A and B are shown apart, each in its own frame.
Chain A
Amino acid sequence: MKSSKHAKGFWLSIVLAVIFSIVMQFLISGGTLNPFYVNTLFSIGINIILAVSLHLIIGITGQFSIGHAGFLAVGAYMSAIVTMKLALPFPVAILAAGMAAAVAGLVIGIPTLRLRGDYLAIATLGFGEIMRIVFLNIDYVGGASGMTVTHLTTWPWVIACVLMTIIVIVNFTNSTHGRACLSIRENEIAADAMGINTTYYKVMAFVIGAFFAGVAGALHAHNFYIIQPGNFGFLKSFDILILVVIGGLGSMSGSVFAAILLTIISTYLSNYPELRMVIYSLVLVVMMLFRPQGLMGTKEITAFLKMGKSAKGGSHDDGKHTTA
C-alpha cells in the first residue's frame, strides 16, 4: 500500500518533469526564450547537479567536503579531451567525465575519508587546489590559458542529466545504503557500533557525488566555450557549498531551490562580481548565526505538501540543528 503510493508519486513527478522539459524545449527552439535566458537555464541545471551531488556528501553522509570544484574540473577537462582531442561524441564525453571524476573521488576518498570534520574539510580543499595546479601544469590541456571547447550542451542533455542526478540520489537516499549514510551523519561512532562499514559507505557516497560533479563538469565545459584552471579554484567550491548550506544541510529539494534562486540572483548581479561575493558571504554568516539549519532544514518539499495529512516522518527531525 505505502510503497505503491510512493511509486505513484515518483512516476507522477517524472511525468511532470518530462512535460516541463518538452515545453521548455519548444520554448527554446521556437525562440520564445532569448539566448540570455537559455544560458541562465543551463547554468541553473548545472548548478542543480552540483548542489545535489554535494548534498549527498555533506547533507546525507555528513562529510564536510569543500573540494567539489576539483571533481568539476576533472569532469570538465576529461570531457573536453574526449570531444576535442579524441573527437568522440558528446554522450561519451559526459560518461567519461563522470567516470574520471568518480575515479578521482575513489582515489582521494579512500585515504582522506578516514579523517573527520575539520581535517577532512582541509584535505578535500587541498585536493581541489592540487587539481587546479595539475591542470595548470599540463600543457596538453592548455595550461593557464585553458582549452577551447565547442558548444555542445543542449537543453535535452541538461535536463536529462539533472533528472538522472535527482532520481539516482533520491533513490540512493531511500535505499539501505542511504540509511547507512544517514546513520553515519547522525552519529558515526554509533553507526560503527551497529556494524555499518562506515568507511565503505562514506567512500560510496563520495564516489557517487564525484561522478555527478564530473557530469556537471562536462556540461559546464561544453556550455562556456573555454575552460581554465582558474575557474575551478577554491571560490568555485565555495559557490557550490553555499547552495547546499543555504538550501538546508540534508534537504535535497532545498539544494535544488537554492541552486535555482542563487543562479538567478548571481546572473543579475554578474555586473557587480564583488558586490555579489560580499552579499553571498554576509548571507552565509547571517544564516549561520540565525538559522544554521538553512532554509529548509533537513525537511524535503514533500514534507510540506503532506503536512496536513499525517505528522509522521521517519527520517525527519525537528529541523533545529545542522548535520555533522
Chain B
Amino acid sequence: MFPIPIFRDWEFIPISNGGSAFMEQLIQQLVNGISLGSIYALIALGYTMVYGIVKLINFAHGDVFMVGAFIGFYSITVFHLGFFPALLISMAACAIFGVLIERIAYKPLRNATRIAALITAIGVSLFIEYGTIYIRGAQPEAYPNGIVPLKSIEILGVKISGQSLLILAVSIFLMILLQFIVHKTKIGKAMRAVSHDQDAAKLMGINVNNTISATFAIGSALAGAAGVVFGMYYTKIEPLMGIIPGLKAFVAAVLGGIGILPGAMAGGLLLGVIEALVSAAGFSLWRDGVAFVVLILILIFRPAGLFGKNVREKV
C-alpha cells in the first residue's frame, strides 16, 4: 500500500559504522533545528503579541516576514549594504508596514465580530502576497552568499556553521530586547495593561490606539528581522515564502500558549527541534505536516498551551 520512496535521508547515515556518526548527525540536526526554531520564535512573538492585545490572528504576519526578506535582499543587492544595516532597514520598514496594515485594515474592525476580523486578515495576507507577485513577478531570488564572512566552528566534533550561530545570536538579542521593552519601559507597561483589560486601560488614560499600533510595529519589526535572517540562512526567497513559516510560527505561538511571550520563544524552538528530529528520523518529506499534527494535538490536550493557564468561560 505505501511503497517506500527511493530516497530517504537515513540511507546516507552509516549507522553500522558505530554510534558516533549517528550522534554527529543528530547533533547537527539539533543545531539546524535550533536555528530554524529561533526564526519561528521571532515570527511567533509577533503573532502572540498581536493576539494578546487585540485577540486577532494576524494572518498577514507571515507576509510581513516575506516583505522583510525582500527589503533586506534589495538593501543588500541594490544599495550594497552590509548585513546589519540591511537588518535594521528591514526592521524599520516592516514596523511602518505593520502599522499601516493595522491602521487601514484592522482598526475599523476593532468592534466587529471575530470572524469578520479573521476574514479581513486572510484577505490582507493574500493581497500582500499577490500584490508582490503582481508588482515584481513570482520568480524567486537568491540571497547573495558570504554577506557575513563567518567561519564555521567545531564543537564536540560537530561542525556548526557561523550562520547558524549568527541567527541564534540575533534572535536571542532581539528576544532579550523585547523582554526589556515589555517589562521595563512605559510603552511595554501600556501594552501589558491593554492586553489585560482594554477598557480599564482606557480609563487609566492609556492611549489604546497608539499602544496597539506600537504592538504591531514591534511584532512586524521582529518578523522583518526574521525575514532577513531566513533569507541569509536558506538563500532562496519568493513572494509566497511567508505562508508556511507564518503558519508554523502560529503553531509555535499556540504551542507555547498564545499571548505569552516566553511561550512563543519556547514554542518556536521546540517546534524547530521537533521538525529537525523528524527529518533526522528519515521522514523529511513529512516535516511540514508534523507542525500541524503538533497543533491539533496541543489544541485537543492542552488548548491553553504549554505555558498557559486554563481560563474558565464566563457567561
Bits for B101-118, please: 1 = Cβ < 8 Å to A, else 0.
000010011001111111
Residues of chain B from 258 to 296 with CB closer than 8 A to chain A in the complex: 285-286, 288-289, 291-293, 295-296
On chain B, the residues within 8 Å of A126 by CB distance are: 247, 251, 291-293, 295-296
Q: Which single member of B1, B126, B134, B295 contacts A123 (CB below 8 Å)?
A: B295
Q: Which single member of B57, B126, B296 contacts A121 (CB below 8 Å)?
A: B57
Q: A112-B300, A238-B126, A284-B122 are in contact. Are A140 and B2 (CB under 8 A)?
A: yes
Q: A64-B118, A280-B126 are in contact. Are A324 and B113 (CB under 8 A)?
A: yes
Inter-chain contact A119/B243, CB cutoff 8 Å? no
Which residue of chain B lies nearest to A110 when distances are taken between CB atoms in the complex? B300
Give the total number of A-B pairs whose CB atoms are below 8 A apart: 135
Tell me the bound Cα distance from A281 to B101 in angstroms.
14
Inter-chain contact A288/B120, CB cutoff 8 Å? yes
Inter-chain contact B119/A284, CB cutoff 8 Å? yes
Q: Which single member of B127, B138, B289 contacts A133 (CB below 8 Å)?
A: B289
Inter-chain contact B285/A115, CB cutoff 8 Å? no
Residues of chain A from 106 to 129 with CB closer than 8 A to chain B in the complex: 111-112, 114-115, 117-119, 121-123, 125-127, 129
Inter-chain contact A324/B285, CB cutoff 8 Å? no
Which residue of chain A lies nearest to B128 when distances are taken between CB atoms in the complex? A281
Tell me the bound Cα distance from A115 to B288 in angstroms.
23
Q: Which single member of B2, B115, B295 contacts A249 (CB below 8 Å)?
A: B115
Tell me the bound Cα distance from A64 to B131 in angstroms.
26
Question: Count the B residues whose beta carbon is within 8 Å of the partner chain — how many?
Answer: 49
Can you offer 19 A-B residue contacts whose CB atoms are under 8 A? A117-B114, A118-B55, A119-B254, A119-B299, A121-B118, A122-B57, A122-B299, A126-B251, A126-B296, A129-B247, A130-B293, A137-B286, A245-B119, A274-B130, A284-B122, A285-B124, A288-B119, A288-B120, A289-B105
Residues of B within 8 A of A (CB): 1-3, 5, 55, 57, 105, 108-109, 112-120, 122-127, 129-131, 133-134, 138, 243, 247, 250-251, 254, 285-286, 288-289, 291-293, 295-296, 299-300, 303, 313, 315
